Structure 1
Amino acid sequence: MPRVWDVPVRDWTRVHDARVAAEGAAALAGLDERRTAAAALVATELATNLLKHAEGGRLLAEVVPAPAPPQERGQSRVVQLAAIDHGPGIGDVPSALRDGFSTTGSLGAGLGTCRRLADGFALHSTPGRGTVAVARMGVTPHGGDAVPGAWGGAPEPGTSPLLPGEGPGEGRAPGSVSGPGGERLTHDPAERHGGRGERFVPFAGVRAGGLNIPYGGAEQSGDAWAWARAGDAVTLMLADGLGHGPEAARASSAAVTALHLCAHLSPADALRRLHDALKGTRGAAVSLARLDLGTGRLRFAGIGNVGARLRTGGTWRHLLARPGIVGVHRPTTLREEEADWTGDPLLVLHTDGLPSRWAPPPGAGLPAADPAVTAAVTIRDASSPARPVRDDTAVAVLTPTPPELP
């Protein structure tokens, strides 16, 4: 069942709690002692930064599907550490990622340490609105037995990778781009495969990520996201178990298990299979999106109140689900929506823990540099310290693979 460590970092005593959370997630993922220590150090640095630079925030630790497309059998999983704050933001992200940079008189090794130790690291900051940092830790560290093209290649030692068209000395971090409103985005291309030692089969074109926050600091969330592959198609699912707590988590976990058995089906047919699999549970709201990378067509179907928004060509479209509860009451007919996966596409699935009137920001909208960062920014901007989420809250995101990643 979805286990999430949600650590509110409001004073220095919680830095230790963040470290313990990372160690718990590492144990659940099966990381060895060395990688567990690395995860603990990353969590410590992220929590310390929350206090130093944002007067606090929250750190989330969980075991999630890897961002690279899964193999047709099995699912590689990684430890994900996400730090979210509503602080002043970072005006110069590339500088903040360099060792020795500090605005508080410290050694300035925090974000640089996170970037070196993590198998994947991404940062998004908007001055005046806050910062999101996401680190992923798998079994294999940098320089280990990774598969080129799966999560991206690491730069050669002593080099400073640049984006296409950039010359040396321009001081731009790998994958750093400008987002809407002038914020700085960065994606570290030095990402590796993780999980329990499985090797990814390179499968270019799409990435997925998500964030899950249990209601009231509970250990388990009734929401769960997953994705599965069948041939040249991938299916992204988000399930919201009825209510919250262990029984809701049992329902959403049953949906995750069933997804891997029916990834070859259309969204409507897969929902029928999930309905049978969830009988005997509380039931869940479920949305499914299946992308055929060969044709570039996305098909969607949903039952219940899991929201879905698709951006294509700079325009957002609401994908509609049917009323009902998977496992309890399924509509007689299930309508599928179809769309082309073109024009800088971005798919966001979200549970009803977000405010009911949540909508993506206008224009280019959410950052797409890293799907988990996109999910975290969505939750951050839909809530505030004075207006926390009101239920289990999960966001799952599907994005194209960035150009700098093979």
Structure 2
Amino acid sequence: MITTEIRLDHESAIAHAVSVTRQAARELDLTPLLTERAAVTASELSSNIVKHTHGGVLLVQPEPVGGLELLALDRGPGMDDVARCLADGYSSAGTLGSGLGAVRRLATTFGIFSHPRRGTAIFARFGAAPSAARTGTLRLPAAGEDHSGDAYTLVETADATLVLVVDGLGRGAEAARVSRSATEAFLLDPGRPLPQAMEAIHAALRNTRGAAATAVRLPRDAAEVEFCGVGNVNAVVLDGDGPPVLMTPQPGTLGLRIPPFRRQTAPLPAGATVVVHSDGIAPGWSRAAGGWMFTQAPPLLVGLLARDHRRYRDDATIVALREW
């Protein structure tokens, strides 16, 4: 399932957001109770954007660890006092209402960022149990497309977390098939060394239009992250509000023309976040974004990246993982 984006610029969009959320919850086999909680949350978040901002979006998608995730994004006036806005009975319109306090109670996992000059981002997850929110993902198709030519996969092993992000050349259904073939090849043996995994993907993509891809391994017992990439899928290590560390992929196209694969490493301080993304996110975002963005929880970070640095003509996929 790709991420569904609902533009919230009119009251009529609220009912659409609720309908899309209910349908997604059913496709993900959520219980009737969680489905209704998600629908109420979609209504509340969408209503807040329509009533109190100049427009925004609600993103509806599978949660990375199972379940449903809603992500509300706007560039509105933001909140001076988030804690006060989360209190039961508070309403910025001056009317009685449970508002964001109810959203926090309804969601299995909840997070918020808001600033008077930077707008608001809110995520609400609905699943069997609360999650640590150390992973954030988005998979948005290019404007006007029904398919995304990007794909990602996350794998947890006994000693590491692995992520693969693939960008099939071009757009549409054929690019989606190429990306799917790449992830299937990776998943046949995700524990092998990253250069060997990329070789397997290259072999699987021969006689196709080809793809760019980056694989990252975050070991549980090491102070560095491993990286191997070809093409325009980039990776960045964020350590608090310090300078980002860019991991540069090698030139080439998997399935067509490749260099000898090279395993790279970068320091992985405690609490650092690794972001892997396709070129639907402008590659200069880590220089243009303020340090305030780097410290956000991964679900909020990927939403803010898409809000502020997305290229709408391209498919956009982002995976953010925070070191435990």
TM-score normalised over the length of structure 1: 0.74
Structure 1 counterpart of 2:165 = 238
**CA distance in 2: counterparts of 1:326 and 1:108, whole angstroms:** 54
Number of matched pairs? 323
**Where does residue 81 of structure 2 map in the other structure?**
92
Of residues 240, 245, 268 in structure 2, which corresponds to 1:341? 268
Q: What SS does structure 1 have at the residue aligned with 2:7?
A: strand
Partner of 1:324: 252
The alpha-carbon deviation at position 102 of structure 1 amounts to 0.9
Percent of aligned pairs with the same amino acid:
35
What SS does the aligned partner of 1:83 have? Answer: strand
Matches within 5 A, 1:238-317: 238-312=165-239, 314-317=242-245
1:174 matched residue in structure 2: none
Q: Does the aligned pair in 2 maintain the 1:234–1:263 contact within 8 Å? A: no
Partner AA of 1:321 in structure 2: P
Structure 1 residue 376: deviation in Å?
0.9
1:51-90 pair list within 5 angstroms: 51-66=50-65, 77-90=66-79
Alignment partners' CA distance in 2, 1:24 and 1:218: 20
Which of 115, 118, 129 lines up with 1:129 in the alignment?
A: 118
User: 1:216 aligns to what SS in structure 2?
Assistant: coil
Are 1:112 and 2:114 counterparts?
A: no
1-side partners of 2:146 and 2:33: how far apart? 25
How far apart are residue 299 of structure 1 and its match? 0.6
What is the RMSD of the two structures over their aligned residues, measured on CA atoms?
A: 2.2
Unmatched tracts of structure 2, length 5 or more: none
Report the residue type matching 1:17 in the other structure. H
Q: Which residue of 1 aligns with 2:318?
A: 395
The amino acid of 2:156's aligned partner reads: R
Match of 1:9 in 2: 8
Task: Please tell me whether the aligned partners of residues 65 and 226 of structure 1 are also in contact (alpha carbons under 8 angstroms).
Answer: no
- CA distance in structure 2 between the aligned counterparts of 1:81 and 1:134, rounded to whole angstroms: 6
What is the one-letter code of the residue matched to 2:319?
A
State the AA in 1 paired with 2:262: R
| Distance change >3 Å, CA 19–CA 338, structure 1 → 2 | same
Give the match's secondary structure for 2:253.
Answer: coil
Q: Note closer, same or farther for the CA distance 1:10–1:208 as it changes in structure 2 (3 Å cut).
A: same
Aligned mates of 1:253, 1:371 — CA distance in 2? 24
Residue 228 of structure 1: SS of its match in structure 2? strand
Q: Secondary structure at the match of 1:366?
A: helix
User: Partner of 2:146 in structure 1?
Assistant: 219
Quick one: structure 1 residues 93 and 326, their matched pair in 2 at CA, closer, same or farther if it must change by over 3 Å? same
Q: C-alpha displacement at 1:214, in angstroms?
A: 1.6
Q: CA 1:358 to 1:315, structure 2 compared with 1: closer, same or farther past 3 Å?
A: closer
Instruction: Tell me, in whole angstroms, the C-alpha distance in 2 between the residues paired with 1:347 and 1:355.
Output: 16
Match of 1:359 among 286, 292, 295: 286
SS for the counterpart of 2:265 is strand
Q: Residue 2 of structure 2 contacts residue 139 of structure 2 at CA under 8 Å; is this kept in 1?
A: no
Unmatched segments (≥5 aa) in structure 1: 67-76, 141-145, 153-190, 192-206, 402-406
**Per-residue Cα deviation, 1:246-298 (whole angstroms, up to 9, x for no partner):** 22222223333333322202221111122233345433211111011112321
Q: Deviations over 1:228-253 (max 9, x none)?
A: 12221111222112222222222223
Task: Supply the distance in 2 between the matched residues of 1:8 and 1:80 (Cα, whole angstroms).
Answer: 16
Contact 2:90–2:99 (8 Å) recurs in 1: no
Q: Aligned equivalents of 1:106 and 1:215: distance in 2?
A: 39
Residues 126 and 268 of structure 1: CA distance in aligned 2, closer, same or farther (over 3 Å): farther
Once the two structures are superposed, what CA deviation does each residue of 1:291-332 show, in whole Å capped at 9, x if it has no partner? 11112321101011011111347231211111222233332x
Q: Are the aligned partners of 1:226 and 1:236 in contact in 2 as well (CA < 8 Å)?
A: yes
Is 2:131 the partner of 1:151? yes
| Partner Cα separation in structure 1 for residue 244 and residue 320 of structure 2 | 14
- The answer as to whether partners of 1:118 and 1:135 remain within 8 angstroms in 2 is yes
Residues 225 and 365 of structure 1: CA distance in aligned 2, closer, same or farther (over 3 Å): farther
Deviation at 1:110, TM superposition (A): 2.4
Q: Quick one: structure 1 residues 268 and 37, their matched pair in 2 at CA, closer, same or farther if it must change by over 3 Å?
A: same
Cα displacement string for residues 65-115 of structure 1 (whole angstroms, at most 9, x for unaligned residues): 21xxxxxxxxxx221111111111111111111221111133332212221
Query: Distance between the aligned counterparts of 1:284 and 1:306, measured in 2?
Result: 10
Task: Please identify, of 116-125 and 217-226, the stretch whose mean Cα deviation from structure 2 is larger.
Answer: 217-226
Corresponding residue SS for 1:359? helix
* Letter in structure 2 aligned against 1:394: T
Q: Secondary structure at the match of 1:41?
A: helix
Moved more, 33-42 or 5-14: 33-42
